[in-house]
Amino acid sequence: MSLTPFLDLRHIEKSFRVRGKQLPAVRDVSLSIREGESLGLVGESGSGKSTLGRCAIGLTAPDAGSVRLLGEELVGRSRRDLRPIWRHMQMVFQDAGAALHPRMTVGRNVIDPLVARRLVSRREGWEIARQLLEQVGLHADQAEAFPFELSGGQQQRVMIARALAVEPKLLICDEAVSALDVSVQAQMMDLFIRLKQERNLSYLFISHNLPTVGQIADRIAVMYLGQIVEVGTTQRMFQNPYHPYSKALFASVLPIPANVSARRELRALPGEMPSPFDLPRGCPFHTRCPVAVDRCRDVRPQLRAIDVDHQVACHLA
């Protein structure tokens, strides 16, 4: 594994205007993913995970900060100028059914990005589509089918085949298995893990489901109210997380999710997550933190290294 970051996010900020007010979704987030590495991104719903994923791939423009892919700045580029970088990273969403073109065959859906950009001829593309469908565990002849003829899990596999068609190095998966039945989720995770091994694929794997993330991630980042509060190796995060918020999250799951049937959701913490419209001063977690000290109410802690591959934003670290 190379130490050069493949994808490097620095000081990303993103707010949305909602009902006339500014809603901060991502607040000063810095993260990097090395080549061949998989980073899990976890946190309760509304913590900013999806917005961060969209900023990483250029679907959402950050208000401030930098996104570098192999050293090249992506922020400020037009959609058209972003197109070449989408050969390196692709995104897989939760709702595959909605993302597929209903009147195109499955095969056309898979290779459309290639054919549209004249990267391959239609005939070559068709062969590629058949091969990709087999790689994601479908039958090559399903290229002839239409999306509505497939199950939700099969549609999700088609979306993955489509993402793989451009041979990306990074897949950004946003709750990519969350809508599927538990048994299908397990099959999809097996597929993601196999692709990681076979293609040296990296992932930014976004999910609220810790055991799922634990199966694929080398490191895990925890988000709370738009900020990263801790990043560490998967083993470290499951066995000995530092931040009081991570502790509460990981306390509800098994040490290492060897057993895929042992899935549990993030357990609700005592107290309410403050409204993002009215963020607390100081540490964003101080309203729920069992070990808060005076300083936590006034000073926002910065993310800093406490060990190799382990960063925490907490005054007590």
What is the binding site for ligand SF4 (CB under 6 A)?
Answer: 243-244, 283, 285-286, 289, 291-292, 296, 301, 314-316
Residue 228 or residue 314: which is nearer to ligand SF4 going by CB?
314
Cα-to-chain-centroid distance, residue 180: 17
100: partner contacted, choices Mg ion, ligand SF4, none (Cβ within 5-8 A by kind):
none
Q: Report the nearest approach of ligand SF4 to the CB of residue 284 (Å).
A: 8
User: Please, what is the minimum distance in Å from the beta carbon of residue 112 to ligand SF4?
Assistant: 47
Q: Is 224 helix (H, G, I), strand (E, B) or coil?
A: strand
Count of all residues that appear for the chain in the document? 317
What's the DSSP call for residue 80? H
Taking each helix axis as running N to C, give the angle between helix 182-199 and helix 152-164, from 0 to 180 degrees, rounded to the nearest 10. Answer: 20
How near is the Cβ of 275 to Mg ion at its closest, in Å? 18
Instruction: State which residue, 166 or 316, has the beta carbon closest to ligand SF4.
Output: 316
CA gap 14, 310 in Å, rounded: 25
CB of 50 to Mg ion, least distance (A): 3
* Cα–Cα distances in angstroms (integers) from residue 262 to residues 186, 222, 245, in the given order: 11, 21, 22
Q: Strands of 5-18's sheet, edge to edge?
A: 21-34, 5-18, 64-69, 72-73
Min dist CB 159 to Mg ion, Å, is 17
- By beta-carbon proximity to ligand SF4, the closer residue of 20 and 270 is 270
Q: Give residue number: closest CB to Mg ion.
A: 50
For Mg ion, the binding residues (CB under 5 A) are 50
Residue 27 interacts with, from Mg ion, ligand SF4, none (CB under 5-8 Å by kind): none
Q: Which residue has the tokens 């990483």?
A: 56
Of 94 and 246, nearer to ligand SF4 (C-beta) is 246
Q: Which does 50 bind (CB under 5 to 8 A by kind): ligand SF4, Mg ion, none?
A: Mg ion
Q: Which two tokens stand for residue 95?
A: 């709702």
- 102 or 271: whose CB is closer to ligand SF4? 271
Number of other residues whose CB lies within 10 A of the CB of residue 302: 12
Residue 143: DSSP 8-state: G
